[in-house]
Amino acid sequence: MSKFYLTDPNINNLPMTDLQFRIYQYCCANYNVKKQEAFIRIVNIGGLFQLTKNEVQEQLIELSKIKHLDLPLIAIKNDKYISFDMPSHRKFLESIGFKKYSNYGWRVLNNHLNEINTKQLKKEYLYPGLDQYELYDELIDLPEEELKKVTKDQLQYPWVLRNVIKNRI
């Protein structure tokens, strides 16, 4: 889960180079969702992508010119120190329920992921109320013709059918 991060899927439609896209994805991966703060260090980006400081600054300036959701991808503030922000990413996170210092967004995301990943199988089994031992007793008492009609997909415990067939011989 350490490589999990959120980003807007509509970023793929923006006019960015491959390097700009990778730098932006790296910035999204290092974005602090709880505090709504960007963690962008020129040295880290340069080391990761084998770029000089000037090349990284040029790429960040180009990213600041690209607008999404009417906001720039990267905002550069030149106070005492150069600081960066990601306003369009923040707006995207707020649109899906993440707010500053709130766990609500994580709950929304977790519930959504649980809905997607929870598979409820509505399959009708033969002898649904029986446990595996009762099912064995039921199958062992069946006539040979009826036992041949039963497949393992029809049973809640498919190994029981194999055991019944093996023990009948």
We report the CATH number of the domain holding residue 61 as: 1.10.10.10
The answer to whether residues 7 and 89 touch, using CB atoms and an 8 Å cutoff, is: yes
Same domain (yes/no): 95, 137:
no
* Residue 92 lies inside a defined structural domain of this protein: yes
In a domain? residue 162: yes
The model's pTM: 0.52
- Domain range for 163 is 132-168
Tell me, yes or no, whether 91 and 155 share the same domain: no
Q: Are 136 and 78 within one domain?
A: no
Q: What is the pLDDT of residue 91?
A: 76
Overall domain count for the chain:
2
Mean pLDDT of 65-73: 82
> Are the CB atoms for 150 and 127 separated by under 8 Å?
no
Exposed (0-12), middle (13-18) or buried (19+): which is 123, by Cβ within 10 Å? exposed
The answer to whether residue 125 is domain-embedded is no
Quote the distance between the C-alpha of residue 97 and its chain's center.
Answer: 16
Q: Give the chain's length.
A: 169
Q: Would you state the pLDDT for residue 18? A: 83
What does the pLDDT look like over 154-168, one tens digit per residue?
Answer: 888 889 999 998 887
What is the amino acid identity at position 3? K
| 167-to-137, 147, 152, 156 alpha-carbon distances in Å | 12, 13, 16, 19
pLDDT band at 1 (very low <50, low <70, confident <90, very high): very low
